[in-house]
Amino acid sequence: MKSQEENKYLFTPYESLVFSLSSSRTRGSRFKSMRVWIPLFKGMTEGGVSKYENKGKYRKSKNKPVIKSKKVFVAMSGGVDSSLSAALLKEQGYDVTGVFIKVWQPDFVECVWKEDRLDAMRVCARLGIKFLTLDLEDEYKKEVVDYMIREYKAGMTPNPDVNCNKYVKFGAFFVFAMKSGADYVATGHYVRLERNLKNKISRPQRLSATMAGVANLKSNSPDRERKQEYVYNLLQAKDLNKDQSYFLWNLTQEHLKKTLFPVGDLQKTEVRKMARKFGLSVAEKKDSQGLCFIGKVDMKDFLKHYIPPKKGNVLNEKGEIIGWHEGAYYYTVGQRRGFTITKKTAEEKPHYVISKSILSNEITVSDSPIVEDVSSSKKIIISGVNWIHGRLPDFSREYKARIRYRQLLQTCRIQAIMSETTDGSNVENTNKAKVALKFAVIFDLPQVAVSRGQSIVIYNKDTCIGGGVVDNF
């Protein structure tokens, strides 16, 4: 008969144990006080290990050496894409742990994270894999939400999803997974990963939904693996309508080396079909729309809680007042709703925001979305640049780029803008050197609805090579 003290750690399928990470592995790090929930499902032992898993962490086969299963932490959102990712990796022989990342959500927005977490838990129970809830509210609030509000106040057009990937999924979560002993992290992003031997001409090894696990489990010995150096390429997804490479331009070789994207080689229809095959409860769950912390709330309504409305004038291209708005910071270039036109023409065409001034609290609109020399440019300056391969692009060749998600790729060239530094902060072992802090993206055709703060993402054919943030144009 178990004592009352022992019984308090036994839970029903969807109850959980809360504790603080305080092991020597994390002591002194920013994860010291981070809460982690470990649910105990039916079929799991008190230690949180499923009875349906192989008891050992080693696979044995006749006449073959014992190979340790690779440990992977899957970022589980409760949606079909991340759920299928976990199922595929489990099927391929990985030691899988599902991790639900709890992010910040305002009080005035309907709470959805508990339902999503419950969906993720059900999937993990179905698959017989371990499950954790990682509390990253503080990181998310600081790096995603506060950043977005600050950028809107400054008249920028921020991309919170880019920051979420950089600081949360491939920042705090990635660090947590590596410190916890994971060999890889995995996400449900629609992108593909290609691995090539460095400085050698070889057939690319594409880590797809069907081959990633097999390739790792059947790889050469660890000693031989360590001697080989690889270059990792981030490719657009097979399903171009779902491709998410635009949001991952901040990744590095270190990230790609330790990351798997199991659904990148699949069409969305295939993902749902395979999810039904695995018996996943989220197979028919609708895809989430917009930012997770906003939910169904309109962006302007969300911003009103942090940036007070301030009535201002709507101008036409001639500078004439033709209406009013609630605050210039609420609007983005290219937007066609959310302001009032009082002086209407007989044709009553829709109007588009072509520029805005935070200082004068005015927005300028046009009945044409394309206005030369106002919101369009061939030469766009970007800063905060990241090159995924860790080296500069070839300035003599053509590339492709886009300034908005799902925009058709546009032909361009890259040009370095050299800046002089004297403190040695940007160059090692020198006191004075010229370094490229900004770059110019020069398009063949004018790009419309350009706004500071947007991400420009650059491609070599179907490979994402990096990107930056619009600084000027």
Q: According to the model, what pLDDT value does residue 370 have?
A: 58
Range of lowest pLDDT (2-6, 61-65, 74-78, 326-330): 2-6
CA-CA-CA-CA torsion sign (191, 196, 202, 208)? negative
Query: 348 falls in which pLDDT band (50, 70, 90)?
Result: confident
**Pairing outcome for strands 95-102 and 130-135:** parallel
Query: 433 falls in which pLDDT band (50, 70, 90)?
Result: low
Instruction: Look up tokens 């996943």; give the residue.
Output: 280
Residue type, 222: P
Average pLDDT estimate for 432-459? 86
Position with higher pLDDT, 5 vs 337: 337
Residue type, 82: S
| Residue 381 β-bridge partners | 440, 472
Domains of the chain, first to last = 4-277 (3.40.50.620), 308-366 (2.30.30.280), 377-472 (2.40.30.10)
The dihedral region occupied by 150, where left means phi > 0, alpha psi between -120 and 50, and beta the remainder, is alpha
**Pairing outcome for strands 399-402 and 352-357:** unpaired
The dihedral region occupied by 210, where left means phi > 0, alpha psi between -120 and 50, and beta the remainder, is alpha
Average pLDDT estimate for 69-94? 95
The answer on pLDDT for 203 being more than 60 is no
Query: 45 falls in which pLDDT band (50, 70, 90)?
Result: very low
Average pLDDT estimate for 343-366? 86
d(CA 358, CA 33) in angstroms, rounded, equals 40
Cβ proximity of 145 and 173 under 8 Å = no
Q: According to the model, what pLDDT value does residue 55 have?
A: 37
Catalytic residues: 164, 292
Q: According to the model, what pLDDT value does residue 472 have?
A: 84
439 three-class SS? strand
Q: According to the model, what pLDDT value does residue 28 have?
A: 43
What mean pLDDT value characterizes the chain?
Answer: 79
**Pairing outcome for strands 463-472 and 455-460:** antiparallel
- Chain centroid offset of residue 307 CA: 26
As a dihedral over the C-alpha atoms of residue 239, residue 242, residue 243, residue 249, rounded to 10 degrees, the angle is -170
Query: 10 falls in which pLDDT band (50, 70, 90)?
Result: very low
Question: What is each CA distance from 366 to 11, 188, 329, 342, 415, in whole angstroms?
Answer: 61, 40, 18, 14, 32
d(CA 145, CA 293) in angstroms, rounded, equals 8
Q: What is the pTM of this model?
A: 0.77
The answer on pLDDT for 424 being more than 70 is no
Q: According to the model, what pLDDT value does residue 425 have?
A: 45
Average pLDDT estimate for 51-65? 43
Q: According to the model, what pLDDT value does residue 65 have?
A: 53
373 three-class SS? coil
The answer on pLDDT for 373 being more than 60 is no
CB under 8 A, 24+ apart: contacts of 450-453: 450/333, 450/375, 450/376, 450/377, 450/380, 450/403, 451/156, 451/157, 451/332, 451/333, 451/334, 451/375, 452/155, 452/156, 452/157, 453/151, 453/156, 453/157, 453/158, 453/159
Cβ proximity of 235 and 194 under 8 Å = yes
Nearest residue to 72 via CA among 159, 174, 202: 174
| Residue 418 β-bridge partners | 436
Phi, psi for 199 (deg, rounded to 5): 60, 20
Nearest residue to 407 via CA among 355, 459, 358: 459
Q: What is the pLDDT of residues 88-131, one digit of tens each?
A: 999 999 999 999 999 988 888 777 788 999 999 999 999 999 99
Nearest residue to 250 via CA among 76, 382, 78: 382
Average pLDDT estimate for 65-92? 90
d(CA 409, CA 461) in angstroms, rounded, equals 10
CA-CA-CA-CA torsion sign (445, 449, 451, 457)? negative
The answer on pLDDT for 202 being more than 90 is no
Cβ proximity of 64 and 56 under 8 Å = no
The answer on pLDDT for 204 being more than 70 is no
Q: According to the model, what pLDDT value does residue 271 have?
A: 97
Classify residue 346 by burial, with Cβ atoms within 10 Å: 0-12, 13-18, 19+.
exposed
d(CA 166, CA 467) in angstroms, rounded, equals 13
Q: According to the model, what pLDDT value does residue 81 have?
A: 96
Query: 441 falls in which pLDDT band (50, 70, 90)?
Result: very high
Structure-block tokens of residue 4: 């009352």
Cβ proximity of 39 and 131 under 8 Å = yes
Cβ proximity of 450 and 473 under 8 Å = yes
The answer on pLDDT for 224 being more than 70 is no
86 three-class SS? helix
Q: According to the model, what pLDDT value does residue 295 have?
A: 60
Cβ proximity of 84 and 47 under 8 Å = no
Q: What is the pLDDT of residues 391-418, one digit of tens each?
A: 899 999 999 999 999 999 999 999 998 7
CA end-to-end distance (rounded Å), the chain: 74
The answer on pLDDT for 317 being more than 60 is yes
Which distant-in-sequence residues (6+ apart) come within 8 Å of 43 by Cβ?
A: 50, 51, 52, 125, 128
Structure-block tokens of residue 177: 């997974």
Query: 368 falls in which pLDDT band (50, 70, 90)?
Result: confident
Which distant-in-sequence residues (6+ apart) come within 8 Å of 277 by Cβ?
A: none
